[in-house]
Amino acid sequence: MKYQLFISLRYLFAKRKEKFISLISLFSILGVATGVMALIIVIAVMSGFDDDLKNKIIGTNSHILVEKDGGVENPDLVIAKIKDMDQFMAASPFLNGQAVIRFKDQATGILLRGIDQEREPSVTNIKQYITGGKLDFGEDGIILGSELAKKLGAVLGGQVKIVTAASKKPEVLTVRGIFSSGMYEYDSNLAFVSIRKAQELYDTKNLVSGVALKIKDVEKAEQVKRQIYDKIGFDYWVLTWMDANRNLFSAIKLEKTVMFIILALIIMVACFNIASTLIMVVMEKTKDIGILKSIGATNSSIMAIFSLNGILIGLSGTALGAASGFFICYLLKTYQFISLPKDIYYIDKLPVLIVWSDSLVIILSAIAISFISTLYPAYRASRLDPVEALRYE
C-alpha cells in the first residue's frame, strides 16, 4: 500500500481532536448515499414506466401498421409483398372505427376494432390479455376491455348493442370475452369484433383499415418502415409504434433527463460538504503537512493524500447509496406494494426496471463529482510552505 493511501485512511478513520470534522464527514457520506440512492430508484422507476408502457402499447397495437387512404382492398397482397423481409414475423388485417355501445341503461363511445381471430394473436398479445371467456367471436361475439365492461355493467354472455355511422339499426352482440391489457386507456375504450362483423357494421364491403405487422426487433421499426416503402410504394402510410407514440416517449425521456439533473444536485450539495471537510482537515493537519514536506514528500504526494481522503468519502457514500437503491428497487419490483390510480397513470402498479448502463452512469457521475470537489482543498494543502507550517510548533 502506498503511503499516500495509508495516510488518507488514517485521516479518515483516526479519532480527531475536532469531532465536528468527523461529523461533517459522516454527513457527506450520507448526503452522497442519499443522492445516489434517490437517483437509482427514480431512474429505475422511470425506465420501468417507459418499458411497461412500450410493452402494453406494442402488445395491443402491434409493431407497425400499414394503412391506405380509403382502406386496403387486398391485405393479403400487401402481406405477400413484404413477408420476405428479414425482420418480418407475422401480419394480420384490421379494421378500426368509432361506435356507440349500449348495455341496459349505460351507453358510451368506443373504438371498435375488427380483427382476424386466427392471425391477430401472432402480432399482438390480445390472447394473453383475455381474463374472461376466450378469443372466439362466433357469429355475433364481441370482446370488451375490463374497464369498459365494468363501466357498462356488462358480463360474459350479456348482450350489448352497437351503433355505428353506417348502421341502420343497433346490432346486438354477445360478450364472448373480457380483456385486460393493464393500460386504462385501452381497457376503458376498446372493444374487438371479428373483421367480417366490423365490415358489416361499417359497410366497407371487403375493405380493411390496414395490416398490422410484427417484427423481430422492435427497435429497428424505423429501418423496417423504409424497407416497406421500397416494397409497396408511397400510396400507403406506414406507422411504427414509435411514430404513434412519439410525443409520449419523448416526454418520458425528457422527464428522465430532468430528474437526473435535479437529483444530481443532491450529490453536488453533499460534495460541497466533502470540500469543506477537507479544508478543515487541511487546517487541522497543517503541522503534519509541514513534517511530510520536510522529510521529502512532494506537492503531488500531498495533493494525492487529501484527494484520496475525499474520494474515499465519495466512494463510501456511492457504495452505500447504490446498495440501498438496488435493494429498494428489488423490494418495489418483487412485492409491488405501491399502487397507482389507473385512470391517471395508465398502469396500476409502480414499474421498476434497473438499466445497468443508467446505474453505471449514476455511480461514475457521483464518483467524478466527489473527485472534483477534492481538487481545490488538496491543491491548497500541496501549496503549504513547510517552514510556515512548522513556525509555531
pLDDT surpassing 50 at residue 1: no
Q: Which of 332, 316, 301 is nearest to 366 (CA)?
A: 316
Tell me whether residue 194 is in a domain. Answer: yes
**The cell 497543517 sits on which residue?**
286
Do the beta carbons of residue 356 and residue 285 sit within 8 Å? no
pLDDT surpassing 80 at residue 162: yes
Q: How far is CA 22 from CA 11, 41, 281, in A?
A: 10, 29, 10
pLDDT surpassing 90 at residue 197: yes
pLDDT on residue 303? 82
pLDDT, one tens digit per residue, over 354-367 is 999 989 999 998 89
Mean pLDDT of 237-265: 84
Tell me whether residue 242 is in a domain. Answer: no
Tell me whether residue 234 is in a domain. Answer: no
CA distance 283 to 245: 58
Q: Are residues 205 and 253 in the same domain?
A: no
Q: Are residues 255 and 367 in the same domain?
A: yes
CA distance 364 to 349: 30
Q: Are residues 38 and 164 in the same domain?
A: no
Total domains in the fold of the chain: 2
**The cell 457521475 sits on which residue?**
365
Tell me whether residue 64 is in a domain. Answer: no
Residues of the domain holding 287:
3-56+248-390
SS (H, E, C) 309-372: HHHHHHHHHHHHHHHHHHHHHHHHHHHCCCECCHHHHCCCECCCCCCHHHHHHHHHHHHHHHHH
- The band of 144, judged by pLDDT with boundaries at 50, 70 and 90, is very high
pLDDT on residue 224? 94
Mean residue pLDDT across the chain: 85
Q: Are residues 320 and 376 in the same domain?
A: yes
Do the beta carbons of residue 349 and residue 184 sit within 8 Å? no
Q: Are residues 260 and 371 in the same domain?
A: yes
The structure's pTM equals: 0.76
pLDDT surpassing 60 at residue 337: yes
Q: Are residues 201 and 269 in the same domain?
A: no
pLDDT on residue 220? 92
Q: Can you spell out the DSSP letters for 115-143?
A: E-TTTGGGTSSHHHHEEEE-S--TTTEEE
Q: Are residues 278 and 148 in the same domain?
A: no
Tell me whether residue 34 is in a domain. Answer: yes
150 C-beta neighbours (distance < 10 Å), count: 14
pLDDT, one tens digit per residue, over 13-44 is 655 555 555 677 788 888 889 989 999 999 99
